[in-house]
Amino acid sequence: MSLLGKVVIVTGAGAGIGAATAVLFASEGASVALVDLNETSLNNVAQQCVVHGKPPLSIKADVANEVEAETIISKTIEYFGQIDILVNNAAIFKMALITDSDMLRQFDSVMNTNLRSVVLLTNLAAPHLKATKGNIVNVSSVTSRWMRVKAASYCVSKAGVEHFTRCAALELAAFGVRVNSVHPGPVRTGMLANALKTVNENEKASDAKRSTALGRLSEPAEIADVILFLASHKARGITGSAYVSDNGFLLKRKLEESR
């Protein structure tokens, strides 16, 4: 599944799914622009990418900041000359009850990073993707179709990503640009560990495993594989689709709800 000659931007590339995706794309010959707020993490992932031959472009930036988002696009074009693939992966997870006094502050923060940045970067990258007939892969979540107490901001943001994906796919199809979303269930990442600790200090990874039909957590590399497929020529007929990789999490939820 060679991506030689392709240029990809991966946001949230410093850890978890983003890091695994960046390294996988580099291993397939792509030129990768790594975007993250954590400079140390960026450097670590960049070193993993270099092993595959091409030094990546590391961009320390806040995807929710309009000026910095513009810098992501301009630096990528300046360094590589084109953009073929945009992977909108950056996200944060914050917990708050709807009745909490700081709920709106938390909501705005989550929405700005998880949803508004996807819209913003899509808007900025679209002219370049039209030129290359490239594509976009947005990382949503199974929480776009499921809800949990204290996680309204995150669930709504990911539902927004799923629906925006369809809207963008419809608009950009006329230019040969595909847009799809990936919906992971529980994945062994720092975000999951923090989410479990926030919800219940006694809740461990084993509880997350039991929430899936297959009784397992995904590794970041598994989600990266799905992203790679959707971004590749093998998925040339796929747009506006939502690919779920959740070990049967949603299936088990539906079964439990029906009882």
Active site residues: 154
3-state secondary structure of 246: coil
Q: Which of 61, 21, 29, 64 is nearest to 45 (CA)?
A: 21
Alpha-carbon distance of 210 to 176, in angstroms, equals 41
> Residue 167 in contact with residue 160, Cβ under 8 Å?
no
Both ends of the chain: CA-CA distance in Å? 43
Q: Where are the alpha helices (DSSP H) in the chain?
A: 16-27, 39-50, 66-80, 103-111, 117-132, 152-172, 190-199, 205-210, 220-231, 249-258
**Does residue 52 sit in helix, strand or coil?**
coil
Q: Which helix (H) or strand (E) holds 183?
A: strand 178-184
